[in-house]
Chains A and B, each alone.
Chain A
Amino acid sequence: MSAPASPASGGGRGSEGAEPDYRFTLANERTFLAWIRTALALIAGSVAVLHLVPLDWAPVMRMVVGLALAGLAVVISVHAPLRWIRVQRAMRLQRSLSLSVLPVVIAVGVALVCVVVLLGTYQS
């Protein structure tokens, strides 16, 4: 995009408020990308469990762990852009940033998956 006149404003409908410091905008973008990479890591785990690594677990165990990881990845990748917009708009309007519940959700989800993995390993 080489239209130098138009300010590239992202997030938030229209461009109400003031353009925030570009460093904050870029940091917001990098946070978004970090979430996306987290989702990709979970997807990699899901692929490994579902059809790559030989495990002698019960098939249902495999399915539960694989689907849980894929499900967490989908939740993250849906939430990440919404979160990016919300933060961008809050910065434009100079409001305080709301806390995201996603880190807690992901931490609990991954902990549960770990428990299931332990069960799967020691039950067989």
Chain B
Amino acid sequence: MRRRSGDPGLQPERTLLSWQRTVALIIVVALLYVRDPFQSGGSNAVAGLDPPQRVAVAALAVVVSGVLIAHVRRRWRACGNEGRDGGVGWVVAPLARPWALFFVSAGVAGFGVVIAAGAVLD
């Protein structure tokens, strides 16, 4: 849906920021996953996957994040929303295309499954 926006609630911009928070959190969790345990040896931590595999999973998460943020930024810019004055451009709703929503869901679900599987198969 497109229309001229004089939105006093800055809804499109809030949605963009929401996407950015989500993507930032994906990257934070991926980095957390790469980190080695705080205490090597002695603790009975479940080892999970080996470090190289964990790095690969995290790299995949970063790639997914890049795709998402590029898509959302492109949509945002295509509507002429570069000016930070509360949307002088057009409004697109939803901000991301539906495939992006499924993409991010699949990514998060896959991440959860990988972590669980790594712990179980250890």
Contacts and interface: CB of A to CB of B under 8 A. Distances in A.
Interface of A: 1-2, 4, 7-11, 19, 22-23, 25-30, 32-34, 36-37, 39-44, 46-48, 50-57, 59, 62-63, 66-67, 70-71, 73-74, 77-78, 80-81, 84
Given A29-B18, A50-B119, A53-B45, 13 more contacts: A10-B93, A10-B98, A23-B7, A36-B22, A43-B108, A43-B112, A44-B28, A52-B37, A57-B44, A66-B119, A67-B120, A74-B109, A77-B109
Interface of B is mostly: helix
A50 B45 contact: yes
Given A22-B93, A26-B94, A51-B46, A70 B115 contact: yes
A29 B92 CA distance: 12
Contact of B18 (A33, A59, A78): A33
A51 B45 contact: yes
Q: Which of the listed residues A42, A43, A46, A55 has the most CB atoms from chain B within 10 Å of its own CB? A: A43
B50 to A, nearest CB: 11
Interface residues of B, number: 57
Interface string B37-54: 111001111111000000
B108 A7 contact: no
Contact of A43 (B90, B96, B97, B115): B115
Interface of A is mostly: helix
B105 A78 contact: yes
14 contacts: A1-B75, A2-B78, A4-B90, A10-B94, A10-B98, A26-B12, A26-B15, A39-B109, A40-B26, A42-B112, A62-B44, A63-B46, A71-B112, A74-B109
Contact of A36 (B44, B94, B104): B104
A27 B9 CA distance: 11
B46 A50 contact: yes
B90 to A, nearest CB: 7
Contacts of B38: 52-54
Contacts of B74: 1-2
Given A29-B95, A33-B18, A81-B102, A59 B44 contact: yes
Contacts of B19: 33
